[in-house]
Amino acid sequence: MVVFLIYNNLYAMKVVRQQISAHYDNLLQTNITENDNILHEYMVYLNRLESNPDVPLIQALTTADSDFTLAKIRLLNQFVRDSSGIYYGMMDTLFLFDRKADDLYYVTQDNSTYTEKKDVLLGWSRNYLRGTGRLQPDAGGWTPIVIGTDPDSRYLMWTNDLGLDVYAGVLVRDRSLLRVLDGFDVGPDGGTFLLNKEGELLANSDSTLMNDNVFRRAIASRAGDYGVVKQGGRSYLVLSQASDQVDAVYAIVMREDYILQNLPFFQKVLYYWIPLLVALLLMIYLLFLQRIMFKPLVDLIRGMRKLGQGRFDIRLPTDQSSEFAFMSGTFNNMAEQIEKLKIDVYEEQLRVQKAEYKHLQVQINPHFYMNSLNIVYNLAALKDFKSVQKLSLHLADYFRFLMQSHRQTVRLEDELRHIGHYLEIQKIRYAGKLDFDVRVRPEHLGCELSPLMVQPFVENAVIHGFGKKMPDGTMFRIDIETEADAEDPEAHMLLRIRDNGIGFPAGMLSDLAAGTYAEGTGEEHLGIWNILRRYRMLYGDERGIAFANAQDGGAVVTIRLPCKGAAAAIGNGSGEEAGDEERTG
């Protein structure tokens, strides 16, 4: 609607301009035609003087002859009658120049500049009306001339050669060409002007608009057309037409707001009040939408975002419109059901996690049975009873540790003692081929961890590192050491198991580094698979166990363990009493 009103207003302004321009253009064209006809008649009048019988007498007689004086008087009387006639009312001065006598005879309607006119016309005639009896080329046509210092002393002059060295001329005041146009209603700051095609004023004007050369040239350049010209921050409607007889452009200039004076009220309504009213209504409408629609939507989005972040206690207000009240109520019911479902799922996960943990822990226990019985049998067959006794003690301690499955955590010292029993058994089995070294800081011996968290890595080193190592005469070694965690030395430690075997296969090492090994079935390396699963269940950190191959050969496993409350997620337990701080096999 606003756009339509703006278009309608612009169209109305265009129509007003066109109507005003058409009306004044007709008047302007009529006035120019009339002026051109009068000027043409002046030219015809001067041509008729060639047949006047007094002109040859003036040329033939001397100034002392009485007939010369009578001829001169008759000619001047005719000039007076003709210059004061109705048709010749625009004529200001008629003159006759006798080149032979070097004298000027003339009559004028304005005697206030009589002497000045005579001097100027006589001087001009002496300069231009000479030679072979013809006008000089630069004296042809209607010539602008200034006589006196009066602002209205600008004239147009036409001269005609009457023959016998006599010349006749007529002066027309420039301002008289605008006598009809001056009566037009052009409003304040408007005016009618006469300019040449270069934009120079031919008729003096006291309008300040004409002081600007650019404005004048813009007017002169629009001859034969109309348009709007900007000047001084205002718009002016300009109509201009060129004369066929004179090198002149008639122009009418009017302030645009004057010709559109009946439209300003509607313009103000259109440009100010309607936009303000529309803006006010839009603000009220936006406030209404903010209250009825946007705010409930924002609350719903925020509630959904908080619900996605795990805040299931979020609830939305229901004191809204019926549609949003229904949505808020549905959201609240959904959040309540999700909260209850989340609690049920969490409790079920805990039950499943505990059952899986028990299963994994028990799954390791029978792993060493068969190998241990084979060792006892072989030693008994060899009648090495001392080794059988020693091996039996280590086996008893080893299996005693395994059968205490009710414990959730053990001290690192107890885990290392259990590993020591296992390695002593292997030393008896592989006499002179296997050795081990345990270097653990005293402050780390009391740290708690899940049972059998370290032993499977040692067992894996013996089975795969030692079992698959090519005989080269060197002893297979396993080193176990601890150090403080560089990132958090107060709460965590690093336990490292190193051997000089063949190391991890490239494919397996890649899976272990990518964290995808625990997702498999663990059919080949059950011990490692179990530990990765248990570690992730206990600590939730898939990167807490690092696998690598040493530069000089062998596998390196680094486990990051907390120093206090390691297995709080599953439950707390107590280990056996502390043993030696450092043990070397």
For residues 401 and 571, give the distance between their C-alpha atoms in angstroms, rounded to a whole number: 19
Angle between helical axes of 295-308 and 322-364 (0-180°, round to 10): 0
For residues 168 and 385, give the distance between their C-alpha atoms in angstroms, rounded to a whole number: 166
Residue 341 is predicted with a pLDDT of 82
For residues 538 and 532, give the distance between their C-alpha atoms in angstroms, rounded to a whole number: 10
Residue 129 is predicted with a pLDDT of 76
Q: Which residues contact 555 (CB under 8 A, 6 or more apart)?
A: 461, 465, 498, 499, 501, 503, 504, 547, 548, 549
Cα atoms in the Cβ-side hemisphere of radius 13 Å centred on 403: 7
Residue 496 is predicted with a pLDDT of 95
In our burial notation (b when 16+ CB lie closer than 10 A, e otherwise), range 433-462 reads ebbbebebeeebbebbbbbbbbbbbbbbbb
Q: What is the 3-state secondary structure (H, E, C) of 260-284?
A: CCCCHHHHHHHHHHHHHHHHHHHHH
Report strand pairing: 103-108 vs 91-98: antiparallel
For residues 71 and 56, give the distance between their C-alpha atoms in angstroms, rounded to a whole number: 9
Residue 420 is predicted with a pLDDT of 92
For residues 493 and 489, give the distance between their C-alpha atoms in angstroms, rounded to a whole number: 7
* Domain locations along the chain: 2-171, 177-262, 265-336, 355-584
Cα atoms in the Cβ-side hemisphere of radius 13 Å centred on 297: 6
Residues in the chain: 585
CA torsion 462-463-467-469 (nearest 10°) is -60
Tens place of pLDDT per residue across the chain (585 aa): 767 777 777 777 777 777 777 777 788 888 888 888 888 888 888 888 888 888 788 777 777 788 888 888 888 888 877 776 645 567 888 888 888 888 888 888 877 778 888 888 888 888 887 654 445 444 457 888 888 776 667 888 888 888 778 888 888 888 888 877 777 777 777 778 888 888 787 777 767 777 778 888 887 887 777 778 887 778 888 888 888 888 888 888 887 777 676 665 566 666 677 778 888 888 888 888 777 777 777 777 887 887 777 777 777 777 766 777 777 778 788 887 887 787 777 666 666 666 555 555 554 445 556 767 777 777 788 888 888 888 888 888 887 887 775 678 889 999 999 999 989 988 888 888 899 999 999 999 999 988 888 988 898 888 888 878 878 778 999 999 999 998 888 889 999 999 998 888 888 888 887 766 656 555 556 667 778 877 887 887 656 889 999 988 899 999 999 886 433 333 333 333 333 344 444
For residues 151 and 203, give the distance between their C-alpha atoms in angstroms, rounded to a whole number: 9
Domain 355-584 in this protein, CATH class:
alpha beta
For residues 401 and 270, give the distance between their C-alpha atoms in angstroms, rounded to a whole number: 96
Q: Are 42 and 170 in contact (CB under 8 A)?
A: yes
CA torsion 308-310-311-313 (nearest 10°) is 100
Q: What is the 3-state secondary structure (H, E, C) of 370-428?
A: HHHHHHHHHHHHCCCHHHHHHHHHHHHHHHHHHHCCCCCCEEHHHHHHHHHHHHHHHHH
Residue 367 is predicted with a pLDDT of 54
Closest CA to 8 of 31, 16, 499, 197: 16
Here the tokens at position 268 are 């103000």
Domain 177-262 in this protein, CATH class:
alpha beta
